[in-house]
Amino acid sequence: MTADPGRDRALPATPPTIAVVGATATGKTAFAVRLARAIGSAELVNADSRQVLRGLHVGTNRPGSEDLEGVACHLLGITDPGTPFSVADWLMAARACLASLDLRGARPIVVGGTGLYVRALLDGLELGGAPPDPVHRAALNARAASPEGLAELAGELRRRDPEGAAGIDLRNPRRVVRATEIVETRGSLAGRARRGTARPSVRIGLQVAPELHRGWITARARTMLTGGLLEETAAALAGGVPPEALDASGIGYREAMAVLDGKLSEAAANAEIVRRTARYAKAQLTWFRADPSVVWLRRERGDDVADLVTRAVALIEAA
């Protein structure tokens, strides 16, 4: 019997998954697009919990076709505002996406600022024991701070896990927030957490010099307000998106609703968007700084993308 010479030959290993992470308004998408074009046969996988929402482009800073320059970006606009969408839901979609890219021989570049998404996918986290995402917890706490928001969260818990919700004090904001986090990651309060498959990865973090970053945040807020945020907000409300769901969909919608209601001037709304975005960016950076596997590239000016891409390609080739 003739031996098959390829029978014992090892299959080629899947190259490490690339991730581009960091705070909001650091140019992650533009950098990832340039990186994908430099690598060739690479496609982006969105890891931003706000850009998964359908119909909301301006307030979530969702990249358009002109931003992507022909590079495919997956998992944009895959769920409706206000519809429960957990980390586990995103993880399932992301795993399916990466499996498809692997089969086609396309290199995935996971890009976004939702830290729990990235870690769950690449580290294979046991989600039930994962540390809470501080940014998402802050958003939940903000909702639970009002009687209306607390009632809404309690109602979502009852719908998603009736048995589990029956066993907690739904008048206690702290317990409701923690229960919401658990249901979002496990699927239920009593259910076993699902474990993801760890993937070798190269994680590149973008950090921007503070003054430059503040300028970019300010410019973004101005562009949002002059570039259709008010119209997008009005259209979403007219289309049936509840105000509380729209508020939770991204920084800027709360301020836009206040402008439409005559409660804020556009100048005051701009200042509040800048303030909240800066605080949000700080929380994101704190999250990613806790991950020792992230290699940081610091941006000192707006025209340094080509240099950073060269350094990133060297890191990827050395992995």
CB 34, CB 44: distance < 8 Å: no
What's the pLDDT score for residue 13? 65
- Residue 225, both tokens: 């307000």
pTM to 2 decimals? 0.78
φ, ψ for residue 182, nearest 5 deg = -65, -45
Q: CA angle 27-218-145, nearest 5°?
A: 100
CB 130, CB 123: distance < 8 Å: no
φ, ψ for residue 204, nearest 5 deg = -115, 120
Q: Give the CB-side neighbour count of residue 270, counting CA atoms within 13 A.
A: 14
What's the pLDDT score for residue 236? 97
Let me know how long the chain is.
Answer: 319
CB 87, CB 116: distance < 8 Å: yes
Beta strands in the chain (DSSP E): 17-22, 42-46, 73-74, 107-111, 201-208, 294-299
Q: Which fold has domain 127-195?
A: Histone, subunit A (1.10.20)
The rounded distance, in Å, linking the Cα atoms of 93 and 72 is 16
What burial class does residue 237 get, using C-beta atoms within 10 Å of its C-beta: 0-12 exposed, 13-18 middle, 19+ buried?
A: middle
Q: Output the tens digit of pLDDT for each of the chain's 319 residues.
A: 444 444 444 434 678 999 999 999 999 999 999 999 999 999 999 999 999 999 999 999 999 999 999 999 999 999 999 888 888 889 889 999 999 999 999 999 999 999 889 988 998 865 544 455 666 777 788 888 888 888 888 888 887 777 677 667 788 888 888 888 888 766 666 554 455 567 899 999 999 999 999 999 999 999 999 999 999 999 999 999 999 899 989 999 999 999 999 999 999 999 999 999 999 999 899 889 989 999 999 999 878 899 999 999 999 999 8
Residues of the chain with CATH 3.40.50.300: 17-125+200-318
What's the pLDDT score for residue 112? 96
**Alpha carbon separation from 216 to 30, 209, 213 (Å, rounded):** 14, 11, 5
Q: For the packed helices 266-289 and 210-226, what is the interaxial angle rounded to 10 degrees?
A: 130
Query: What string of DSSP letters covers 223-268?
Result: HHHHTTHHHHHHHHHHTT--HHHHHTT-TTHHHHHHHHTTSS-HHH
What's the pLDDT score for residue 178? 83
Residue type at 305? V
- Residue 86, both tokens: 């957990």
Full strand arrangement of the beta sheet holding 294-299: 73-74, 42-46, 107-111, 17-22, 201-208, 294-299
Instruction: Return the CATH number of the domain spanning residue range 17-125+200-318.
Output: 3.40.50.300
Spatial CB neighbours of 293, under 8 Å, sequence gap ≥ 6: 201, 203
Q: Where are the alpha helices (DSSP H) in the chain?
A: 28-39, 65-68, 87-104, 115-123, 134-144, 147-160, 162-165, 173-186, 210-226, 229-238, 243-247, 253-260, 266-289, 305-318
Residues of the chain with CATH 1.10.20: 127-195
What's the pLDDT score for residue 177? 87
